Amino acid sequence: MATDVQIAVRKVVSVNPATGAVLREIECASESEVQAAVARARTAQQEWYEAGISKRVAILRRFQHLLHEKKSEIARLITQEAGKPYVEALLTEVLVVLDAAGFLAKNAYGLLRDEAVPHGNLAMKAKAGRIMREPYGVIGIISPWNYPFSIPATESLAALVAGNAVVVKPSELTSLMALELASLLYAAGVPKDVFQVVVGDGATGAALIHSEIDKLIFTGSVQTGKRIAQAAAARLLPVVLELGGKDPMLVLDDADVEVASSGAVWGAFVNAGQACLSVERCYVHRSLYEPFLEACMSKARQLRVGDGMEAETDVGPMIHERQVRNVEAQMEDAMARGARLLIGGARVGRGASNFYAPTVLADVTHEMRIMREETFGPVLPVMAFDQDDEAVRLANDSEYGLAASVWTRDRARGEALAARIHAGTVMVNDTVSCFGISEAPHGGVKASGIGRTHGRFGLEEMVRIKYMGSDRLPGIKKIWWYGYGAAFARQMEGFLDLQFGRGLGRRVRGAMRSAGVYVRKGRV
Ligand code: NAD
C-alpha cells in the first residue's frame, strides 16, 4: 500500500566556490548505513592485516604511482571543489600525499616491526620482552574542507599501511575529493570494504563516532573537536584531535625584511588564509616595523585574486559566504578598536562574493578578536614589540598552540627562542611548510589538539602497543612467589641493596645477603 509519509533525505552539495556552480549533490549516509560500513570494514580488516605489510606497502607504491600519473586531474578537481589555485593544489595537496606515500612505503616496515625490550630489573632478567604494534581494527577519520585531499589521504595511508580498515567522513563541502581518493586506493588494490567513504554532514560524523570504530582521527575546529571529545569520552573511544590554530610569526630585530615579508604574505594568504597553519598573528621588532609593513603592503598589492583555475591567480575564493562573514566580523571589531588598515579589508567583486582581498592590518592589539580567535581568511594582522621576551609572551598569550615561526639571520638565536614557544611545531625562517615534511609530526598543544598525525608519531597513533613478556626458564618458580618469611625479607633487602645501594661496599654486601634468593627453598 502506498504511503504518503515522506522521509526527509539529507543531502550534501559540492559547489565550486569560485563560480557558485553546483558540482554534485549526494545523499548523506544514514546512521544505519554508517554502522553497516563499519561492520563491513571490521570483517575485511582481518584479511587486510593478515595479508602482511609487504603487500600493503606494494599497494601504497602503486597508489603513489597512480596519483602521480593523475596529478593534474586531481589538482584540478581540488581547485574546483575547494577553490585554491591549481598550483597550490599540486603543491600543498598532491605533493604532500605523494611524499607521505613514499615515506610510509619506505619506513612503515621498520617503524611497525616488533622491538626487543631489554630489562633493567635484575629480577626480570630471565624474561625476553618485546613490544608489538597491532592495528586498532577500524579507524574512523572525520576531515575538514580546507585540505580535502591531503588531510584524509595522509591519515588514511598511515592507518591502512598499519593494517587497519578505514571509514572516512569528509567535510560536507568537499565530498568529491574523498570519493576521488577512494577510487585511487581501489585502483591501487585496496579492497572496497577496507577503505570506505561515508558522505554526510555533522550528523553523519556523529553517527561514525557512535558506531563500532576503534579509534577516531578528527581534523576540524576547536568547537567541533570539544563536542567530539565529549562524545568519545562517553564510550572511551581513543581520539586524535587536529584542531584550529592562531599561529604567531615573530620577526626579530636581525631578520631579513625582504625575506620575512614574503614569508608573511605567503603564510597568511595561502589557500586564502584557510590553513590551520597559516600566519594568523605577526609580531615584528619595532626597529623593522614600518619597513616590514611597507613590504607586506606592496607584496599584497601584487597578488591576483580570482578563480584558482586561472594560471595567474595567487589567491582563490574562500570556501563559503559564511566564512567571509566571519572575517568581516573580526575586521569590523579590529577597526572599531583602532587597527590601521593598510590594504584590502573588503570583498573583491560585487554582492555576496566569496573573494576577499589580501589584507594587511597594523597596530593591532590582543584586545581585538582578530588576535585571539582563528580568522581563517586572508588577513595579516601585525603588531610591534620591543624585547624578545615580550615577543615570546605575546606568542604564548593564546588558547591555541598549533605552530609558530621565528625569523632571524641567527639560527641559533631563533632556535633558542623557538624552544620557549608553546606549540606543536616551531619553524625558524619558514612557515606552513612543515605540513609538507612527511617526517615531521603534525599536531598541536593547548586547544589546538591532542595526538599527532604524519611521520613516525602519526603512524604510532594507528597502532595499539602490546608488550609480550616471555619467560626463558619456564620450569622454575619465580623468586617472588609465595613462601614468604623473615629469611626471604632479608634476602630481598639485600637484593635491593645490590641493585640500588650507594657505593661498591653496600652493593657487595647486598649481593652476599641476597645470594640465595634465586634458589630459595619453600616456594609455594
Ligand atoms: P568543522 O569542525 O566545522 O568540521 C570538521 C568535520 O567535522 C566536518 O567533516 C564536519 O562535517 C564534521 N562534524 C561537524 N559536527 C560534527 C559532530 N557533531 N560530530 C562529528 N562530526 C562533526 O571544521 P571545518 O570548518 O571543516 O574546518 C576548518 C577547521 O579545521 C579550522 O578550525 C582549522 O584550523 C581546522 N583544521 C585543523 C587542521 C589541523 O591539522 N590541526 C587541519 C585543517 C583544518
Active-site option among 28, 276, 282, 434: 276
What counts of helices (H) and strands (E) characterise the chain? 17, 18
Q: Would you say residue 240 has pLDDT above 90?
A: yes
Cell numbers at residue 470, please? 616471555
Closest atom of ligand 1 to CA, residue 449: 41
Q: Whose CA is nearest to atom 12 of ligand 1?
A: 202
Rg of the chain (C-alpha set)? 28
Q: Which residue type, as a one-letter code, is found at position 287?
A: S
Q: What pLDDT does residue 3 have?
A: 46
Q: Is the CB of 171 under 6 A from ligand 1?
A: yes
> By C-alpha distance, which of 358, 372, 422 is closest to 396?
422
> What pTM was estimated for this model as a whole?
0.97
Task: Indicate the length of the chain as a whole number.
Answer: 524
28 is catalytic: no
**pLDDT of res. 7:** 61
Please report where in the chains the cell 570483517 appears, as a residue: 43
Rounded Cα gap, residues 407 and 430, in angstroms: 8
- At 8, the pLDDT band (50, 70, 90 cuts) reads confident
Determine the residue of 142, 201, 237 to mutate for testing ligand 1's pocket, defined as the one with the most ligand atoms within 8 A of the Cβ atom. 142
- pLDDT tens figures, 218-236: 999 999 999 999 999 999 9
Starting at the edge strand found earlier in the chain, the sheet holding 449-450 runs 195-197, 165-169, 138-142, 215-219, 239-242, 449-450
**In the prediction, which pLDDT does 134 show?**
98
The pLDDT of residue 4 is above 70:
no
User: Is 439 one of the annotated active-site residues of the chain?
Assistant: no
| pLDDT, tens digit, 9 for 90 and up, residues 452-505 | 999 999 999 999 999 999 999 999 999 999 999 999 999 999 999 999 999 999
Place of cell 606494494: 58
Tell me: the pLDDT tens digits for 176-221? Answer: 999 999 999 999 999 999 999 999 999 999 999 999 999 999 999 9
- Looking at residue 6, its pLDDT comes to 55
Q: Please, where are the H alpha helices in 360-410? A: 388-396
pLDDT at position 349, please? 83
Answer whether 221 contacts ligand 1 (Cβ < 6 A): yes
Which listed residue (242, 280, 373, 461) is catalytic?
A: 242
Contact 23, 12 (CB under 8 A): no
Type of residue at 438: S
Beta bridge partners of 242: 219, 449
- Average of pLDDT values for 298-310? 97
The percentage of the chain sitting over the pLDDT mark of 70, rounded to a whole number, equals 99
394 close to 366: Cβ distance less than 8 angstroms: yes
CA distances from 10 to 25, 31, 143, 178, 228 (A): 10, 12, 19, 19, 21
Kindly list the structural domains of the chain, giving each domain's residue range(s) and its CATH number in brackets, ordered by start.
Answer: 33-244+457-466 (3.40.605.10), 247-399+403-438 (3.40.309.10), 477-519 (no CATH)
The phi, psi pair for 305, rounded to 5°, reads: -95, 135
DSSP letter (8 states) at residue 442: B
Q: Tell me the C-alpha distance between 305 and 313, whole Å.
A: 6
pLDDT of residue 5: 53
Rounded to the nearest integer, the mean pLDDT of the chain is 97
- According to the model, what pLDDT value does residue 1 have? 42
**Mind listing the pLDDT tens digit for each residue in 368-418?**
999 999 999 999 999 999 999 999 999 999 999 999 999 999 999 999 999
pLDDT in the model for residue 260 = 98
Closest C-alpha residue for ligand 1 atom 16: 202
- Ligand 1 centroid – CA 225 distance (Å): 7
Q: Which residue has the higher pLDDT, 4 or 30?
A: 30
